Amino acid sequence: ITSMSCLLIVVGLLVGGLIKVIGEEPPVLDSQLFFLCLLPPIILDAGYFLPIRPFTENVGTILVFAVIGTLWNAFFMGGLLYALCQIESVGLSGVDLLACLLFGSIVSAVDPVAVLAVFEEIHINELVHILVFGESLLNDAVTVVLYNLFEEFSKVGTVTVLDVFLGVVCFFVVSLGGVLVGAIYGFLAAFTSRFTSHTRVIEPLFVFLYSYMAYLSSEMFHLSGIMALIACGVVMRPYVEANISHKSYTTIKYFLKMWSSVSETLIFIFLGVSTVAGPHAWNWTFVITTVILCLVSRVLGVIGLTFIINKFRIVKLTKKDQFIVAYGGLRGAIAFSLGYLLSNSHQMRNLFLTAIITVIFFTVFVQGMTIRPLVELLAVKKKKESKPSINEEIHTEFLDHLLTGVEGVCGHYGHYHWKEKLNRFNKTYVKRWLIAGENFKEPELIAFYRKMELKQAIMMVESGQLPSVLPSTISMQNIQPRAIPRVSKKREEEIRRILRANLQNNKQKVSSNKGIWLKLNV
């Protein structure tokens, strides 16, 4: 895929050149087309199929990279580029600090489209993948807020302490507001899917419709549309999949994949065409310095933040992980579209666009094409190709419950305790309203086992290991629990006696452990 994205850009360059040769005006990657048509399918696909467990376990690290890392990149690049412009020989003495900070905010953010295109191919381990991918999704709010702030400051010309305070408030409003809007539409989509059992054909339509409405609503109120799409996909998926049919699930899965692939293809082709279309203003010193500063700021930011993060993490980020996270900070079409949004009256617009395109080409062609050989050379841990079995999934769930119990005995309310509280609230109140039928009353372990069994059966059918007639006979409603083998009365009493004795022993051990723990605390 890395070579494919580069090939698509080259195709775009050739198409743009051919159009220009015959005397026509090449079409450019219009910002409205990009943000309203091409970007939403890619983000929805990423949000709907987001691996929840690794994301939530590393959400603190992801937020540090997305927020503090992006701020560092923006101010570091903007400040040094302003210092460069003060040198008379460069010929850019008219550029002020706010314009440089505006440019730094545009090129500082890691692009989710480019990251998806590269990291899906190299099969990097789950930790590094979710860190870079999560950062590329969540830094949208920081980039948009910085861009709007510096653009407004450039027009006004002065910045006060109140403006800075309002900027911080604006960041929280944009990001959390987008999440809230997405969650509301996600619950609406889940609630609607309760009543579609008689019209299965429209089930996928509701998923796409509510997701796009969440994105448009957020953009209309100047909130983060990307955050809204991610929140909407994450919230509605577990409830929607419990209500819809297998055919609708397959339609949603493959249509989203196809839709996002088509959007990625068009984005990279448009990038090539827009490069030929111009207009450009070339300044060797400014452009080359921008590329170098992108690399330097990324490396320094990752090393510095990881040094702090590793003090709080149980699983530390190794030097190899840090290198891949730093090297995988690719820029893409979002930076180009933000640059294209600059008003034509902006004195540095053409130079900024030229520098942005150069940075995108460098990251996609050089970093994107060399990251796989570097991963092989450094022997970085790869992702497991085999899917976890039902047995592994159930044991993972069992360990979560066990660790929740350990936290309760120790009196420490950590990650697993609050996760259990959320799951209990979800099961008691939310599922009752959002899941149709009697599925929400099912014991948790049995429901989990059924879900895993159905998932594995669908995967076997799709891979050709089972007859294709099987999917039509499988649904969440008609999978019956396995028959329990009959046991004699004598054997049943013996089992009860053993279990009662074990339970009494466990209670005694827990009470003695609590007494020891209290004595140690006193």
Q: Which residues have a Cβ under 8 Å from the Cβ of 214 and sit 6 or more positions away? A: 181, 182, 184, 185, 186, 228, 229, 231, 232
Give the mean model confidence (pLDDT) for residues 216-230: 89
435 secondary structure, DSSP code: S
**CA-wise closest residue to 280 among 365, 356, 331, 345:** 356
pLDDT exceeds 70 at position 2: no
Choice between 499 and 133, residue whose per-residue pLDDT is larger: 133
CB atoms within 10 A of CB 197: 14
pLDDT, average across residues 292-314: 89
Contacts of 129 (CB under 8 A, 6+ apart): 119, 383
Question: pLDDT digit string (tens) for 262-300?
Answer: 888 888 888 888 888 777 777 788 888 889 989 999 999
Q: What is the 3-state secondary structure (H, E, C) of 464-503?
A: CCCCCCHHHHCCCCCCCCCCCCCCCHHHHHHHHHHHHHHH
Q: Token pair for residue 510?
A: 């827990």
Q: In this model, does residue 70 exceed pLDDT 50?
A: yes
Range of weakest confidence among 33-42, 184-193, 276-285, 310-319: 276-285
- Is the pLDDT at 250 greater than 90? The verdict is no
Of 215, 168, 167, nearest in space to 189 by CA: 215
Name which residue leads in pLDDT, 309 or 376. Answer: 309
> Which region among 77-81, 262-266, 288-292, 464-468 has the lowest average model confidence (pLDDT)?
464-468
In this prediction, residue 444 carries a pLDDT of 54
Phi, psi (degrees; rounded to nearest 5) at 159 = -130, 130
- Tell me the per-residue pLDDT of 324-362, one tens digit each, with 9 for 90 and over: 888 888 887 788 888 877 776 667 778 888 888 888 888
Interval 159-179 mean pLDDT = 83
Residue 441 pLDDT more than 60?
no
What b-and-e string marks burial along 420-452, b requiring 16 or more CB atoms within 10 Å of the CB? beeeeeebeebbeebbbeeebebeeeebbbbbb
**pLDDT value at residue 522:** 43
Q: Say if residue 476 is exposed, middle or buried (CB neighbours under 10 Å; 0-12, 13-18, 19+).
A: buried
Distance from C-alpha of 431 to C-alpha of 77, rounded to nearest angstrom: 48
Tens-digit pLDDT profile for residues 185-214:
999 998 888 888 788 888 888 889 999 999
Of the candidates 116, 194, 103, 91, which has an alpha carbon nearest to the alpha carbon of residue 150? 103
As a whole number, mean pLDDT of residues 169-186 equals 90
pLDDT of residue 186: 92
Backbone angles phi, psi at 70, to 5 degrees: -65, -40
Q: Residue 240: enclosing H or E segment and its boundaries?
A: helix 225-243
**119 compared with 195, residue with greater pLDDT:** 195
> Is residue 483 pLDDT above 50, yes or no?
no
pLDDT score, position 184:
94
- Percent pLDDT > 70 in the chain is 81
> Which has the higher per-residue pLDDT, 172 or 487?
172
Both tokens of 208, joined, read: 């796409």
d(CA 413, CA 426): 19
Q: What distance in Å separates the CA atoms of residue 321 and residue 145, rounded to the nearest whole number?
A: 29
| 472 has pLDDT over 60 | no
Contact 226, 133 (CB under 8 A): no
Query: Mean pLDDT across the chain, nearest whole number?
Result: 78
